[in-house]
Amino acid sequence: MPQALYFFVVICVYKFNYMRKTIAIDMDGVLADVETQFLNWYERDFGIKMTKDQIAGLTEDTAFPEKGAIRKFAHTAGFFLTLPVMEGAVEAIATLSKKFEIYIVSAAMEFPLSLPEKLEWLKVNFPAISWKNIIFCGDKSIINTDYMIDDHLKNLDNFKGKTIMFHAFHNVSYTHHTRANNWKEVIDLMAKEN
């Protein structure tokens, strides 16, 4: 009987660790509130205070009057390190981690300065996430998880599993992915998944 119990425990541990469904979760615009940082930095550098309503529906290239502002911010040291955490993200990751295997998948390669900053940001704000579960990539086409939570269509459209499109100013016009307006809605959607 103790032996049967042993095997039962082993199987449970195995199932818990290796059979859990996987989620690829994006950083910028999902875990990290880049939109707020863009608006704050734009006001700081160009003296123009813009609102979330003003940029809703625009692209990253056309959202601000100063062309290339967003790309310039993303290439500036400190930008990624100082991003505010998205509201509700810490609690949501803690909740999702109980049931799913979480992978943080960030398209960081375009901005080399962001690599150490993103790693440090995750360590500070999400210390429970292991380095084993962090992926920095270029495009996300070879990422194979059961779910993807992302704000960018270029990532969601090519993904083979189930998608959740996290609300962002640049994706408000699109409806071909399940939308979550905030982390509370992500939790509600994922509560239905097994």
- Residues annotated as catalytic are 26, 28
C-beta of 2 vs 112, nearer to its own copies: 112
Question: Which residue in 100, 92, 98 sits closest to 186, CA to CA?
Answer: 92
Eight-state DSSP code of residue 13: H
Minimum CB distance to its own copies, residue 184 (Å): 26
Residues that bind its own copies (CB under 8 A): 22, 24, 103, 109-110, 112, 115-116, 119, 130-139, 142-145
C-beta of 55 vs 119, nearer to its own copies: 119
Minimum CB distance to its own copies, residue 53 (Å): 33
Minimum CB distance to its own copies, residue 115 (Å): 4
Give the Cα separation of 25 and 30 in Å (integer). Answer: 8
Please name the residues in contact with 155: beta carbons below 8 A apart, sequence gap of 6 or more. 26, 107, 139, 140, 148
C-beta of 43 vs 139, nearer to its own copies: 139
Query: How far, CA to CA in Å, does 135 sit from each of 55, 64, 83?
Result: 29, 30, 19
Question: Which residue in 190, 10, 1, 32 sits closest to 107, CA to CA?
Answer: 32
Give the Cα separation of 21 and 145 in Å (integer). Answer: 8
Minimum CB distance to its own copies, residue 141 (Å): 8
Distance of CA 46 to the CA centre of its chain: 28
C-beta of 111 vs 183, nearer to its own copies: 111
